[in-house]
Amino acid sequence: MARKVTIFTGQWADMPFEKLCKTMSSMGYDGLEIACWGDHMDVFKAAEDMEYVKEKKSILKKYNLECWALGNHLAGQCVGDLYDERLDNFAPVELAGNPEGIRRWGIDYTIAAAKAAKNMGCNVVTGFMGSPIWKYWYSFPQTTQEMVENGFDQIVELWTPIMDVYRECGVKFALEIHPTEIAFDYYTTKKLFEKFGGCEELGINFDPSHLLWQGMTPHLMIRDFPDRIYHVHMKDVAVTLDGRSSIIGSHIEFGDMRRGWNFRSLGHGDVNFEEIIRALNDIGYCGPLSVEWEDSGMEREYGAKEACEFVKKIDFEPSNIAFDDSLKT
Protein backbone atom coordinates (compact mmCIF):
# COMPACT_ATOMS: atom_id res chain seq x y z
CA MET A 1 0.00 0.00 0.00
CA ALA A 2 1.31 3.46 -0.92
CA ARG A 3 2.24 5.75 1.92
CA LYS A 4 -0.23 8.41 2.99
CA VAL A 5 0.35 11.93 1.69
CA THR A 6 -0.09 14.74 4.19
CA ILE A 7 0.72 18.44 4.25
CA PHE A 8 2.36 20.41 7.03
CA THR A 9 0.03 23.24 7.99
CA GLY A 10 2.67 25.63 9.33
CA GLN A 11 2.81 27.70 6.14
CA TRP A 12 -1.01 27.83 6.11
CA ALA A 13 -1.56 29.03 9.68
CA ASP A 14 -3.30 32.15 8.37
CA MET A 15 -6.12 29.92 7.06
CA PRO A 16 -8.81 28.83 9.57
CA PHE A 17 -8.54 25.15 10.42
CA GLU A 18 -11.82 23.99 8.89
CA LYS A 19 -11.24 25.94 5.68
CA LEU A 20 -7.78 24.41 5.48
CA CYS A 21 -9.17 20.90 5.92
CA LYS A 22 -11.73 21.46 3.18
CA THR A 23 -9.06 22.87 0.85
CA MET A 24 -6.53 20.09 1.38
CA SER A 25 -9.13 17.35 1.13
CA SER A 26 -10.26 18.73 -2.24
CA MET A 27 -6.65 18.60 -3.44
CA GLY A 28 -6.38 14.90 -2.65
CA TYR A 29 -4.40 14.90 0.60
CA ASP A 30 -4.91 12.00 3.00
CA GLY A 31 -4.23 14.01 6.12
CA LEU A 32 -2.48 16.86 7.88
CA GLU A 33 0.67 17.32 9.91
CA ILE A 34 -0.96 19.90 12.15
CA ALA A 35 1.11 22.91 13.19
CA CYS A 36 0.82 23.89 16.85
CA TRP A 37 0.11 27.56 16.19
CA GLY A 38 -2.60 29.73 14.69
CA ASP A 39 -5.98 28.15 15.32
CA HIS A 40 -4.78 24.79 14.00
CA MET A 41 -3.75 23.33 17.37
CA ASP A 42 -3.51 24.78 20.87
CA VAL A 43 -1.57 22.04 22.62
CA PHE A 44 -2.36 23.35 26.10
CA LYS A 45 -6.04 22.83 25.32
CA ALA A 46 -5.50 19.54 23.49
CA ALA A 47 -3.46 18.19 26.41
CA GLU A 48 -6.32 18.69 28.88
CA ASP A 49 -9.64 19.26 27.10
CA MET A 50 -10.98 16.18 25.34
CA GLU A 51 -13.90 18.21 23.96
CA TYR A 52 -11.39 20.37 22.10
CA VAL A 53 -9.70 17.22 20.80
CA LYS A 54 -13.05 15.76 19.80
CA GLU A 55 -13.85 18.92 17.82
CA LYS A 56 -10.55 18.76 15.92
CA LYS A 57 -11.03 15.08 15.13
CA SER A 58 -14.57 15.75 13.99
CA ILE A 59 -13.44 18.38 11.50
CA LEU A 60 -10.74 16.08 10.16
CA LYS A 61 -13.24 13.24 9.76
CA LYS A 62 -15.74 15.54 8.03
CA TYR A 63 -13.22 16.02 5.23
CA ASN A 64 -11.89 12.45 5.21
CA LEU A 65 -8.53 13.48 6.66
CA GLU A 66 -6.33 11.93 9.33
CA CYS A 67 -3.48 13.19 11.48
CA TRP A 68 -0.33 11.19 12.21
CA ALA A 69 1.88 14.01 13.51
CA LEU A 70 1.82 17.42 15.16
CA GLY A 71 4.41 20.09 14.30
CA ASN A 72 5.92 21.93 17.28
CA HIS A 73 8.67 23.93 15.60
CA LEU A 74 8.22 27.39 17.13
CA ALA A 75 7.99 26.46 20.79
CA GLY A 76 10.76 23.90 20.43
CA GLN A 77 13.08 26.58 19.08
CA CYS A 78 12.50 28.62 22.22
CA VAL A 79 13.76 25.77 24.42
CA GLY A 80 17.36 25.58 23.24
CA ASP A 81 18.12 28.95 21.66
CA LEU A 82 20.10 31.79 23.13
CA TYR A 83 17.57 34.61 23.33
CA ASP A 84 17.34 37.37 20.78
CA GLU A 85 14.35 39.51 19.86
CA ARG A 86 13.31 37.21 17.00
CA LEU A 87 12.02 34.69 19.54
CA ASP A 88 9.44 37.28 20.60
CA ASN A 89 7.61 36.38 17.36
CA PHE A 90 7.16 32.78 18.52
CA ALA A 91 6.15 33.21 22.16
CA PRO A 92 3.05 34.89 23.65
CA VAL A 93 3.22 38.67 23.32
CA GLU A 94 3.28 39.22 27.08
CA LEU A 95 6.63 37.37 27.24
CA ALA A 96 8.41 39.66 24.75
CA GLY A 97 11.85 40.58 26.02
CA ASN A 98 11.77 37.94 28.77
CA PRO A 99 14.37 35.27 27.89
CA GLU A 100 13.69 32.93 30.80
CA GLY A 101 9.94 33.35 30.45
CA ILE A 102 10.13 32.44 26.77
CA ARG A 103 12.29 29.39 27.50
CA ARG A 104 9.92 28.22 30.25
CA TRP A 105 6.94 28.67 27.93
CA GLY A 106 8.76 26.72 25.20
CA ILE A 107 9.44 23.83 27.58
CA ASP A 108 5.87 23.75 28.88
CA TYR A 109 4.40 23.97 25.39
CA THR A 110 6.66 21.23 24.04
CA ILE A 111 5.69 18.95 26.93
CA ALA A 112 2.02 19.73 26.30
CA ALA A 113 2.55 18.84 22.62
CA ALA A 114 3.37 15.25 23.65
CA LYS A 115 0.15 15.01 25.66
CA ALA A 116 -1.82 16.62 22.84
CA ALA A 117 -0.40 14.14 20.33
CA LYS A 118 -1.36 11.24 22.56
CA ASN A 119 -4.92 12.56 22.86
CA MET A 120 -5.12 13.12 19.09
CA GLY A 121 -3.95 9.55 18.45
CA CYS A 122 -0.62 10.67 16.93
CA ASN A 123 2.67 8.97 17.74
CA VAL A 124 5.03 11.70 16.47
CA VAL A 125 5.67 15.36 17.20
CA THR A 126 7.96 17.03 14.67
CA GLY A 127 9.86 20.16 15.51
CA PHE A 128 12.99 22.06 16.43
CA MET A 129 15.19 22.01 19.53
CA GLY A 130 17.05 25.30 19.14
CA SER A 131 20.77 25.74 19.71
CA PRO A 132 22.86 27.76 22.15
CA ILE A 133 25.87 27.50 19.83
CA TRP A 134 24.51 28.06 16.32
CA LYS A 135 26.17 31.47 16.12
CA TYR A 136 29.52 29.72 16.62
CA TRP A 137 29.28 27.68 13.42
CA TYR A 138 32.00 29.74 11.76
CA SER A 139 34.96 29.66 14.09
CA PHE A 140 35.84 33.35 14.24
CA PRO A 141 36.21 34.55 16.88
CA GLN A 142 37.65 31.14 17.59
CA THR A 143 35.23 28.48 18.81
CA THR A 144 36.77 25.97 21.17
CA GLN A 145 35.70 22.34 21.30
CA GLU A 146 34.84 22.93 24.94
CA MET A 147 32.28 25.53 23.86
CA VAL A 148 30.78 23.04 21.39
CA GLU A 149 30.63 20.26 23.99
CA ASN A 150 29.01 22.60 26.50
CA GLY A 151 26.38 23.58 23.95
CA PHE A 152 25.42 19.98 23.24
CA ASP A 153 25.41 19.23 26.98
CA GLN A 154 23.07 22.16 27.58
CA ILE A 155 20.64 20.76 25.00
CA VAL A 156 20.77 17.36 26.70
CA GLU A 157 20.11 18.99 30.08
CA LEU A 158 17.16 21.00 28.77
CA TRP A 159 15.59 18.26 26.66
CA THR A 160 16.06 15.12 28.78
CA PRO A 161 13.11 15.95 31.11
CA ILE A 162 11.03 16.70 28.01
CA MET A 163 11.97 13.35 26.46
CA ASP A 164 10.92 11.66 29.71
CA VAL A 165 7.38 12.98 29.19
CA TYR A 166 7.41 11.85 25.56
CA ARG A 167 8.37 8.37 26.75
CA GLU A 168 5.49 8.35 29.24
CA CYS A 169 3.08 9.39 26.49
CA GLY A 170 4.36 6.85 23.96
CA VAL A 171 5.18 9.67 21.53
CA LYS A 172 8.37 10.25 19.50
CA PHE A 173 10.00 13.64 18.95
CA ALA A 174 11.33 13.99 15.40
CA LEU A 175 13.90 16.77 15.09
CA GLU A 176 14.05 18.44 11.69
CA ILE A 177 17.76 18.63 10.82
CA HIS A 178 18.02 22.28 9.96
CA PRO A 179 20.29 25.34 10.17
CA THR A 180 19.92 27.10 13.55
CA GLU A 181 19.38 23.72 15.26
CA ILE A 182 21.87 21.89 17.47
CA ALA A 183 21.91 19.21 14.73
CA PHE A 184 22.07 20.91 11.34
CA ASP A 185 24.08 18.46 9.21
CA TYR A 186 25.37 14.88 9.20
CA TYR A 187 28.05 15.01 11.87
CA THR A 188 26.14 17.25 14.27
CA THR A 189 23.24 14.78 14.01
CA LYS A 190 25.58 11.90 14.78
CA LYS A 191 26.97 13.82 17.76
CA LEU A 192 23.49 14.62 19.09
CA PHE A 193 22.46 10.97 19.15
CA GLU A 194 25.72 10.05 20.84
CA LYS A 195 25.10 12.68 23.50
CA PHE A 196 21.58 11.40 24.17
CA GLY A 197 22.75 7.78 24.35
CA GLY A 198 19.90 5.31 24.02
CA CYS A 199 17.07 7.84 24.09
CA GLU A 200 14.70 6.22 21.59
CA GLU A 201 12.18 9.04 21.86
CA LEU A 202 14.49 11.33 19.88
CA GLY A 203 14.65 10.82 16.14
CA ILE A 204 14.64 12.62 12.80
CA ASN A 205 12.05 14.45 10.78
CA PHE A 206 13.83 13.90 7.47
CA ASP A 207 13.75 16.97 5.23
CA PRO A 208 16.01 16.77 2.15
CA SER A 209 15.89 20.44 1.23
CA HIS A 210 18.02 21.70 4.12
CA LEU A 211 20.58 18.99 3.49
CA LEU A 212 20.92 19.49 -0.25
CA TRP A 213 21.72 23.19 -0.26
CA GLN A 214 24.45 22.54 2.32
CA GLY A 215 26.09 20.18 -0.19
CA MET A 216 25.00 16.87 1.36
CA THR A 217 23.44 13.84 -0.35
CA PRO A 218 20.10 13.71 1.48
CA HIS A 219 19.18 10.03 1.18
CA LEU A 220 22.40 9.00 2.93
CA MET A 221 20.86 10.29 6.17
CA ILE A 222 18.11 7.71 5.72
CA ARG A 223 20.54 4.90 5.05
CA ASP A 224 22.88 5.81 7.94
CA PHE A 225 20.18 6.52 10.55
CA PRO A 226 17.54 3.93 9.55
CA ASP A 227 16.16 3.44 13.06
CA ARG A 228 15.78 7.18 13.66
CA ILE A 229 13.63 8.23 10.72
CA TYR A 230 10.36 8.94 12.53
CA HIS A 231 8.74 11.27 9.97
CA VAL A 232 9.43 12.54 6.44
CA HIS A 233 9.02 15.97 4.91
CA MET A 234 8.79 16.21 1.14
CA LYS A 235 10.37 19.54 0.25
CA ASP A 236 12.42 20.71 -2.69
CA VAL A 237 15.16 23.29 -3.18
CA ALA A 238 17.06 24.69 -6.16
CA VAL A 239 20.73 25.64 -5.91
CA THR A 240 21.58 28.36 -8.44
CA LEU A 241 25.09 29.55 -7.67
CA ASP A 242 26.10 31.87 -10.50
CA GLY A 243 29.50 33.15 -9.47
CA ARG A 244 28.02 36.10 -7.59
CA SER A 245 25.48 34.42 -5.32
CA SER A 246 26.46 32.83 -2.03
CA ILE A 247 25.50 29.52 -0.49
CA ILE A 248 24.97 31.36 2.80
CA GLY A 249 22.34 33.67 1.39
CA SER A 250 23.81 37.19 1.46
CA HIS A 251 21.07 38.37 3.89
CA ILE A 252 18.71 38.39 0.89
CA GLU A 253 15.09 37.37 1.48
CA PHE A 254 13.75 33.99 0.33
CA GLY A 255 12.40 34.11 -3.19
CA ASP A 256 14.83 36.73 -4.45
CA MET A 257 16.54 35.29 -7.53
CA ARG A 258 19.89 36.78 -6.51
CA ARG A 259 20.12 34.17 -3.75
CA GLY A 260 22.33 31.12 -4.27
CA TRP A 261 19.43 28.82 -3.41
CA ASN A 262 15.68 28.94 -2.86
CA PHE A 263 13.04 26.50 -1.76
CA ARG A 264 10.90 25.26 -4.64
CA SER A 265 7.64 23.44 -5.01
CA LEU A 266 8.11 19.69 -5.38
CA GLY A 267 9.59 18.62 -8.69
CA HIS A 268 10.85 22.12 -9.51
CA GLY A 269 14.18 21.86 -7.68
CA ASP A 270 17.23 19.65 -7.44
CA VAL A 271 16.23 17.02 -4.86
CA ASN A 272 16.41 13.43 -6.14
CA PHE A 273 13.17 12.09 -4.69
CA GLU A 274 13.51 8.68 -6.34
CA GLU A 275 16.63 7.92 -4.29
CA ILE A 276 14.75 9.03 -1.18
CA ILE A 277 11.82 6.70 -1.90
CA ARG A 278 14.20 3.81 -2.56
CA ALA A 279 16.02 4.48 0.72
CA LEU A 280 12.73 4.72 2.63
CA ASN A 281 11.65 1.41 1.10
CA ASP A 282 14.91 -0.20 2.16
CA ILE A 283 14.48 0.82 5.81
CA GLY A 284 10.80 -0.16 5.83
CA TYR A 285 9.43 3.34 6.51
CA CYS A 286 5.63 3.17 6.34
CA GLY A 287 4.73 6.56 7.80
CA PRO A 288 3.30 9.53 5.92
CA LEU A 289 5.09 11.63 3.32
CA SER A 290 4.34 15.16 4.45
CA VAL A 291 4.55 18.00 1.95
CA GLU A 292 6.14 21.12 3.40
CA TRP A 293 5.24 23.64 0.76
CA GLU A 294 7.50 26.68 0.42
CA ASP A 295 7.96 28.46 -2.89
CA SER A 296 7.95 32.26 -2.99
CA GLY A 297 7.66 32.19 -6.79
CA MET A 298 4.49 30.11 -7.10
CA GLU A 299 0.85 30.59 -6.07
CA ARG A 300 0.48 28.32 -3.05
CA GLU A 301 -2.81 26.56 -3.78
CA TYR A 302 -1.66 25.71 -7.28
CA GLY A 303 1.62 24.50 -5.80
CA ALA A 304 0.07 22.46 -3.01
CA LYS A 305 -2.24 20.62 -5.39
CA GLU A 306 0.57 19.90 -7.83
CA ALA A 307 2.79 18.77 -4.92
CA CYS A 308 0.19 16.26 -3.74
CA GLU A 309 -0.01 14.80 -7.22
CA PHE A 310 3.79 14.72 -7.47
CA VAL A 311 4.22 12.75 -4.24
CA LYS A 312 1.57 10.21 -5.19
CA LYS A 313 3.28 9.71 -8.53
CA ILE A 314 6.83 9.42 -7.18
CA ASP A 315 6.01 7.07 -4.29
CA PHE A 316 6.24 3.36 -5.06
CA GLU A 317 6.34 0.11 -3.12
CA PRO A 318 9.41 -2.11 -3.04
CA SER A 319 9.33 -5.25 -5.14
CA ASN A 320 8.30 -8.49 -3.45
CA ILE A 321 9.99 -10.63 -6.11
CA ALA A 322 13.38 -10.79 -7.77
CA PHE A 323 13.03 -9.50 -11.33
CA ASP A 324 15.12 -12.38 -12.69
CA ASP A 325 13.21 -15.20 -10.97
CA SER A 326 11.35 -15.91 -14.18
CA LEU A 327 14.59 -16.48 -16.06
CA LYS A 328 15.06 -19.90 -14.50
CA THR A 329 14.53 -22.99 -16.67
For helices 145-169 and 99-120, angle between their N-to-C axes, nearest 10 degrees: 40
pLDDT by residue (tens digit) across 13-41? 999 999 999 999 999 999 999 999 999 99
Q: Which of helix, strand or coil describes residue 243? A: coil
Task: Answer whether residue 241 shows pLDDT above 60.
Answer: yes
Cα Rg of the chain (Å, integer): 20
Q: 297-321 burial by CB neighbour count: b if 16+ within 10 A, else e?
A: ebebeebbbbbbebbeeebeeeeee
Task: Answer whether residue 322 shows pLDDT above 80.
Answer: no
Average confidence (pLDDT) over 254-265: 97
**Count of beta carbons in the 10 Å neighbourhood of residue 244:** 8
Going along the chain from its start, the domains and CATH numbers come out as 5-327 (3.20.20.150)
pLDDT by residue (tens digit) across 91-147? 999 999 999 999 999 999 999 999 999 999 999 999 999 999 999 999 999 999 999
Pick from 86, 183, 190: nearest CA to 128: 183
DSSP track, 298-315 = S-HHHHHHHHHHHHHHH-
Burial of 324 (0-12, 13-18, 19+ CB in 10 A): exposed
CA distance linking residue 329 with residue 134, whole number of Å: 62
CA distance linking residue 111 with residue 36, whole number of Å: 12
Q: Residue 68: what are its φ and ψ, rounded to 5°? A: -110, -10
Cβ neighbours for 139, distance < 8 A, ≥ 6 positions apart: none
For helices 273-283 and 300-314, angle between their N-to-C axes, nearest 10 degrees: 50
Mean pLDDT of the chain: 96
Task: Answer whether residue 1 shows pLDDT above 60.
Answer: no
pLDDT at residue 2, as a whole number: 86
Residue 226, preceding peptide bond in cis (omega within 30° of 0): no
CA distance linking residue 176 with residue 205, whole number of Å: 5
Pairing of strands 236-239, 261-264: antiparallel
pLDDT at residue 321, as a whole number: 73
pLDDT by residue (tens digit) across 45-93? 999 999 999 999 999 999 999 999 999 999 999 999 999 999 999 999 9
**Count of beta carbons in the 10 Å neighbourhood of residue 277:** 23
Residue 66 near residue 43 (C-beta atoms within 8 A):
no
CA distance linking residue 47 with residue 118, whole number of Å: 8
